Structure 1
Amino acid sequence: MTTTERIDPPFAADETAMLTAWLDYHRATLLLKTEGLTPEQLRERSVPPSSLSLLGLVRHMAEVERHWFLGILQGQEFEEGIYWTSEDEDGDFNQVDGADPEADLATFRTQVGLAREAAAGLPPETPGKRLRRGEEVTLRWILVHMIEEYARHNGHADLLRERIDGATGE
């Protein structure tokens, strides 16, 4: 059993260190919500007709990490996602029934590691190499957006986890 270490962000730090610490805190929070559950529980959907599941959230955030840090910041092009395809753009959520949670958690961790590498040492005003909706996006914006994205989905994860086994918490 893996135990995720979640480190509280510092009360005082420079901007990049603060934003990175909060992002890492939220990344760890999502992983904590998955710990101790069976593959079936991780695949369990919230309520019909939603395809939302804890495993779907992990898969989705792997896609999001890849998109923003490797795609937008570094300029890499992807024809399809890790889980989504042109036939199923919500494959990260829709295709969990036969998914391997261990492999998907490993993919998530890999994408987080690649995202960290992509941003390492860059000042927050660094522009991405690709435009988003025709506009320049900075690393600062990406970090703030990622914190927001995780915070929103961690709220979903908290409700899903409580529904599955009654566990609540941060």
Structure 2
Amino acid sequence: MTDNRFEAPMAGDEVATVLGFLQYLRDTFRWKIEGLDDEQLQQPLAPSTMTLAGMTTHLAFVENYWFTYVFEGKRPLEMFADNDWDAAPDYDWEMAAGMSPDQRTELLSRMQQESDSVVDAALTSGGLDLTAQNPGQDDRVSLRWILVHLVEEYARHNGHADLLREAIDGQVGE
């Protein structure tokens, strides 16, 4: 595995620091799935059913959900919007089984790029204090909260990815 992760600035302002850590954690996840074949990516670590393949599609969903659906108030990507979430609440994890590794990685990269475009536009038009109505909630959510939540989401799942990767091929690292 090649460690080409973006390093967050150690003395940056709030925006540079939060965006830097989000990019670092995105790169860390990409590093964890690098070089594995489909069988390895779909290998769970008992007793969990969690896989790196499912985690990839889940993170793509999370990016699309928070930036497109919540922050922009737009319809989510069709593959997510058309799911009956009551009947299949883990669809974002399970959909990975029907996709190739390249399709999953491309989906995650595309959702991250779309998220970055939303963030760039928001930062130019109002900054981290911009808010959006959180669907199904009475309160609004700020861009700051969404970004920090994504940092938390990637950090948590990178911990899972560490364990899965080590079980698959013994590869360890941050």
TM-score w.r.t. length of structure 1: 0.90
The alignment yields a C-alpha RMSD, in angstroms, of 2.1
Match in the other structure for 1:166: 170
Shift of 1:161: 0.2
CA contact (8 A) 1:72 1:131 kept: yes
CA contact (8 A) 1:56 1:92 kept: yes
The question of 1:64 aligning with 2:62 is answered: yes
- Which residue among 131, 134, 143 is the counterpart of 1:131? 134
* Residues 163 and 62 of structure 1, relative CA distance in 2, 3 Å threshold: same
- Which residue among 71, 74, 78 is the counterpart of 2:72? 74
Match in the other structure for 2:33: 34
The question of 1:115 aligning with 2:119 is answered: no
Note the 1:36-55 alignment, pairs <5 A.
36-48=35-47, 50-55=48-53
CA contact (8 A) 1:42 1:53 kept: yes
Aligned-partner Cα distance in 1 for 2:82–2:28 = 24
Query: Secondary structure of the residue that 1:5 maps to in structure 2?
Result: coil
Number of aligned residue pairs: give it: 167
Unaligned runs of 5+ in 2: none
Shift of 1:3: 5.9
CA contact (8 A) 2:32 2:162 kept: yes
Query: Secondary structure of the residue that 1:96 maps to in structure 2?
Result: helix
CA contact (8 A) 1:51 1:93 kept: no
Query: Secondary structure of the residue that 2:5 maps to in structure 1?
Result: coil
Match in the other structure for 1:25: 24
Aligned-partner Cα distance in 2 for 1:20–1:105 = 21
Aligned residue type for 2:156: R
My pick for the range that moved more, 94-103 or 137-146, is 94-103
CA contact (8 A) 2:6 2:24 kept: yes
Shift of 1:16: 0.9
Give a deviation string over 1:31-85, Cα, whole Å, max 9, x none. Answer: 000011111101111214x320001111100000001111111111349653982
Query: Secondary structure of the residue that 1:97 maps to in structure 2?
Result: helix
CA contact (8 A) 2:33 2:41 kept: yes
Aligned-partner Cα distance in 1 for 2:147–2:158 = 16
Give a deviation string over 1:111-137, Cα, whole Å, max 9, x none. Answer: 000000001051110112x32422100
TM-score w.r.t. length of structure 2: 0.88
CA contact (8 A) 1:83 1:92 kept: no
Aligned-partner Cα distance in 1 for 2:81–2:74 = 17
Aligned-partner Cα distance in 2 for 1:124–1:33 = 30
Match in the other structure for 2:5: 6
Structure 1 runs of 4+ aligned residues shifted over 6 Å read none
